[in-house]
Chains A and B, each alone.
Chain A
Amino acid sequence: MNMQPKTQQSPATQTPAVEIANLSRSFQVGASLMSKGKTLRAVEDVNLSVKRGEVLGIVGESGSGKTTLSRMMLGLMKPSGGSIRIDGQNITTIGRSELSRKVQPVFQDPYSSLNPRKTIGQIISLPLETHGSGSREERTKAVEEMMLQVGLAPRLIHSYPSQLSGGQRQRVAIARALMIRPEILICDEPTSALDVSVQAQILNLLKDLREKFNLTYIFITHDLGILEFIADRVAVMYMGRVVESATAWNVMNAPRHPYAEALLGSVLTPDPKLGLPDLHLGRGFPDPLNPPTGCSFHPRCPKAMPQCSANAPRTTRDEHGLVECHLYPEGASK
């Protein structure tokens, strides 16, 4: 399998497709009239940059802030701090309808992402109707063309989602997202609700479409195997922070943060003799309302040192990427 960076050299490398700077989002939990409640920091001080045509994988456990991040990129949630720039333009200054022409989502659950009361044709043409583009006939034609592009038979145009398989539904969701020709597709676990055989088809489809439509992907998943296949760069999130970000090859073969290492060790193999992977992660995921002191990973970290519980590590940037760990102090390049 080809592990080298897959990005084609494009002339438009000057402005990144997505640039996230110091992005944070916190929620008030359990607030009432009497108490202010607690603050949950879902996303904290995230810095990421995605080049045009690149596939950025975001990986992390449930509750690590992946979905909050994706909702902010879609403009469905306002950041508490920091900024997101799409094509160099701050997301808060882009109008709802203009933003939807740039960024579109593909969701995890193809059962809840399609309206059960609408036909496939109606679902796929919703973006066109919303933007008021084309006549009725033109829209139907565009829908049929798009259905072919994503590998759906146009005769399914009058069926309902309940008549389709999971894989077909996910194709419908992808078709809907592509109807208004966005530049960026945010795929939030697009294959984790599907059978393994169908997963491969959807991943291949996404790969094909990326070239055909010149797309940039932000691929959120907890499955490193998928990222190995599709991603150019990978960001590892833990408790709302990006703890490591590097090329996919580097993360897969030479992970630096102990959490990334542990995640890699957790990948299930089809060989039954190997058994379940042995994780040295100790206790479960910490309570995000009472995050640990210092480095938030230290209670589970097999390589924890005394300083890890005392103060939070600084971000180290070098030619490999970015890592946030006391094992890699600033300036000391490994």
Chain B
Amino acid sequence: MTDATVKAVPEALADGEIVAPSPREEMRRRAKSHIGLIFGGSIVTLVTLIAIFAPILAPYDPYDQDLTRRLIDPVWKTGNWANILGTDALGRDYLSRLIYGARISLMVGFGAAAIAGTVGSLIGIIGGYFGGRVDSVVVYLINVKLALPGLLIALSLVSIVGGSVGALVLILGFLTWDRYAVVTRSVAQQLRGNDFITAARAVGASQTRIILGELLPNVMNQIIVIASLEIAIVILIEAALSFLGLGVKPPEPSWGLMIAEARNFMFFKPHLIAIPGFAIFLLVIAINMAGDGLRDVTAPEGRN
């Protein structure tokens, strides 16, 4: 380095075009070749679209009872296209109820994940970033949460508060934040010693700016992956609660509730249970596949 003739500027200006793809391009490329992600993702997208456009897609009002048209068989038995999936015990069109049921499942799933993701990630990042006493408190909170029997608490809370979609979202949201907290805490712990955090502090950035601007973008991938898996779990819990009569109240068309209402006809009208059961199965497995795919696609990047 004693050679003062080495020029300071030209190398960096002159060197060639960018060869390495950006992290985003890299991720897009991996996503395109991931079958599970494409398959799961397209089913989730399809169900979401169906839920959004339910009023247009549903052939009948899902609440409209017609006792003269009870328990009609689906089209593959009757050949009658008026009620494609038949009707239930109160003469309501089953397809319309199934379509509107997607709304409740997705609303509970995404709503609870949004609450749990926000609460859990904030708690986790704060614990991992600040460390010390703050972290002890966070670890204590996580341990308390992990020791709680989640489903039992959900059951008792719902029976006290009463079942509505809003109550379910809140209760399930505050019962599933722990996984976000565990993961984001460990990522924040790894990142806090990095010089880019020190640089941000030296520039005078506030702790809020460091947490939201520097740390959050680095844990976003992990949060999305956990969320996709948690949504599936929450949808199952909602179905279970509704089946037990503690979730969504009739006449709301929740898939779990539809199964519960069809219990009495299980032996002579099995499709009444099979159809919503298959819908739950398909949605949950699609979300799981998409979540696994997201993890595969983002993990190499997340590890830097």
Residues in A lying within 8 Å of B, measured CB to CB: 1, 74-76, 96-97, 99-101, 103-105, 107-109, 112-118, 123, 126-127, 130-131, 151-153, 156, 159-160, 162-163, 165, 167-168, 171, 173, 176-177, 180, 191, 196-201, 203-205, 207-208, 225-226, 228-229
Contacts and interface: CB of A to CB of B under 8 A. Distances in A.
Contact of B1 (A100, A123, A226): A226
A105 B15 CA distance: 27
Nearest to A127: B203
Nearest to A152: B12
A196 B3 CA distance: 11
Given A116-B23, A200-B6, A205-B8, A107 B1 contact: no
A96 B204 CA distance: 6
Given A130-B205, A180-B203, A205-B9, A117 B18 contact: no
Interface of B: 1-4, 6-13, 15, 18, 20-23, 194-196, 198-206, 209, 213-214, 217-218, 220, 304
Nearest to B200: A126
Contacts of B217: 115, 117-118
Nearest to B197: A115
A21 to B, nearest CB: 22
A45 B195 CA distance: 27
For A115, A118, A152, which residue has the most chain B Cβ atoms within 10 angstroms?
A115
Return the 4 tightest CB-CB contacts between A and B, nearest first: A100-B204, A113-B195, A204-B8, A117-B217
A76 B194 CA distance: 14
A202 to B, nearest CB: 8
B1 A225 contact: yes
Contacts of B1: 191, 196, 199-200, 203, 225-226, 229
Contacts of A171: 12
Given A104-B202, A104-B203, A200-B1, A115 B196 contact: yes
For B194, B204, B220, which residue has the most chain A Cβ atoms within 10 angstroms?
B204
Contacts of A105: 198-199, 202
